[in-house]
Amino acid sequence: MLRTLLNDEAGFIVSAELVLVATILVIGMIVGLSEIQHAVVAELNDVADAIGSLNQSYCFSGFSKAKKYKRGVAAYTRGSIFFDTGDECDNNQCDIDCDPPVRERPKRR
C-alpha cells in the first residue's frame, strides 16, 4: 500500500513555488481589475462630458387655425423657448471641496 502511494502521481502537491505563482497571479489580477476600473471611469467621464456639452436650447413658434365660416380662432398652440445655460458640472467643471483639517484637542479626564 505504501508502494502504491509513493508511485501515485495523480495527486497535487502544494509547494512554495505553486504558492508563489498563485500569489503573483492574484496580485496581477487585482492590478488588472483596478486598471479596468480606471479605464471605465474615464470613458464614462467622457460620455458625461459629451452629454454636458450638448446645447439643449429650443424654440418653436405657435400656430393657429381660423374658423372656416365664422369669425374667430378654431384652435391655437402657443410657442415656447428655452435657453440652456452652463451648469456647475458641465464639461468636467466640478470641484470636490474638502473641509480643512481640524486639529485634535487633548482628551478630557
Residue 106 has pLDDT above 70, yes or no: yes
- Closest by CA to 55, choosing from 94, 35, 100, 85, is 85
Q: Which residue has the higher pLDDT, 9 or 59?
A: 59
Q: How high is the pLDDT of residue 24? A: 94
Cell output for 14: 502544494
Strands (E), the chain: 58-60, 63-66, 73-77, 80-82
pLDDT band per the 50, 70, 90 thresholds, residue 92: low
Q: Which amino acid is at 108?
A: R
Residue 94 has pLDDT above 70, yes or no: no
Average pLDDT of the chain is 81
Within 10 Å of residue 90's Cβ, how many Cβ atoms? 16
Q: How high is the pLDDT of residue 91? A: 66
What percent of the chain lies above the pLDDT cut of 70?
A: 82
Residue 14 has pLDDT above 80, yes or no: no
Residue 65 has pLDDT above 60, yes or no: yes
DSSP state of 15: -
Q: How high is the pLDDT of residue 41? A: 86
Under DSSP, is residue 83 helix (H, G, I), strand (E, B) or coil? coil
Q: How high is the pLDDT of residue 103? A: 79
